[in-house]
Amino acid sequence: MGAGVQVQERQGGDVAGQADLIAQLPPYTDLLWPTLQALIALGGSASNNELDGAVVEREGWSPEVQGILHGSGPGTEVEYRLAWARTYLKGMGLLANSRRAVWSVTKRGREVTESDIRPLLAAFTADKRRQRLNRKASAPDEQDLPPSDSSAEAESDTVYGESDDTIEWRAVLLEEILRMSSTAFERLIQRLLREAGFSSATITARGVDGGVDGIGMCQISLLSFPVAFQCKRASGSVGVGAVRDLRGAMAGRGEKGLLITTGTFTSEARAESSRDGAPPVDLIDGDRLCDLLKEHALGVRTTTRVVEDVAVQTDFFAGLESD
């Protein structure tokens, strides 16, 4: 059998294997109730990562399923569908995000039953469809989203409940980071750590994946302590092995560990990072990395805009007509 045929068969097997894994994931509409219940079990509020981890644990998805990329990445299919579930639960009035990436259960969310979910979803999607049709009628030349709500692809630019611009800049920023040379990425990480309060950041090794390892000194007020860090440029999920490897490298070098990736972490990796009795390892995924670069204005410029909401008070004019 020729090498070309072997490669073709292997690629076909990979595609079939991924399709089998994706088939194990329910659609985001079937994740509404599990997401709501997971958030309630967490005490009624949680970050994206905490909530994702809780749902993954409830559903029992394997690391292989968790690692499936959505499209070409960098996000995973699990994250994508759970983000959709959060967005729809918010639209249905069952969740609120008091600040970005922190979610809370509303009073209504605590009162609903599982049988209420489908009717609430139907009412919400019907309302969204009417809003789209109204926008299309008022601005027919404007590019609009498809009217169907049956697929998460239809509104992927609002998947995290943020503005279109917010979603776009993160995707663009991560693409830029993935395209950087190893040397430029090394400089970026050192600059970020120093801007964030490290008094030093020394690169000790360079990975074959374009990532870097190093040791830094973190300064917090009157205290300073060594931190061993690893930065991985990847579009997929980083597993528990990376956390254990960093912890092993920390011996005699750092009191804390910092693991940064442009991708995501599996739930097992997050659990291992805070395991009782083991040196702590802080995790920074791609979204958090973007936030830090924005916070410290490293390659990201933020422009504040003021928006006016103008309403005509017709009762004022009606009052002028009265004798």
Q: How far apart are CA 226 and CA 213, in angstroms?
A: 14
**CA triple 229-231-235, angle to 5 deg:** 150
Asked, as a colleague might, if the bond just before 140 is cis with ω within 30 of 0, I would say no
Which pLDDT score is estimated for 269? 94
- pLDDT, average across residues 75-104: 87
Predicted confidence (pLDDT) per residue in 265-290, tens digit: 999 999 999 999 889 999 999 999 99
Q: How far apart are CA 95 and CA 109, in angstroms?
A: 6
217 beta partners: 200, 226
Specify the fold of 179-295: Trna Endonuclease; Chain: A, domain 1 (3.40.1350)
- The least confident of 153-157, 191-195, 201-205, 237-241 is 153-157
Which pLDDT score is estimated for 293? 94
Residue 210 pLDDT grade (very low, low, confident, very high; cuts 50, 70, 90): low
Residue 11 pLDDT grade (very low, low, confident, very high; cuts 50, 70, 90): very low
Q: How far apart are CA 206 and CA 198, in angstroms?
A: 20
Which pLDDT score is estimated for 139? 62
- The least confident of 138-147, 172-181, 217-226, 250-259 is 138-147
Q: How far apart are CA 90 and CA 70, in angstroms?
A: 22
Which pLDDT score is estimated for 8? 45
Residue ranges covered by each domain of the chain: 3-141+148-162, 179-295
Task: Evaluate if residue 230 carries a pLDDT over 60.
Answer: yes
Which pLDDT score is estimated for 291? 93
Which pLDDT score is estimated for 46? 83
Average pLDDT, the chain: 82
Which pLDDT score is estimated for 148? 37
Residue 98 pLDDT grade (very low, low, confident, very high; cuts 50, 70, 90): low
Task: Evaluate if residue 151 carries a pLDDT over 80.
Answer: no
pTM over 0.85: no
Cα dihedral 95, 98, 104, 107 in deg (nearest 10): -60
Which pLDDT score is estimated for 286? 92
Give percent above pLDDT 70 in the chain: 83
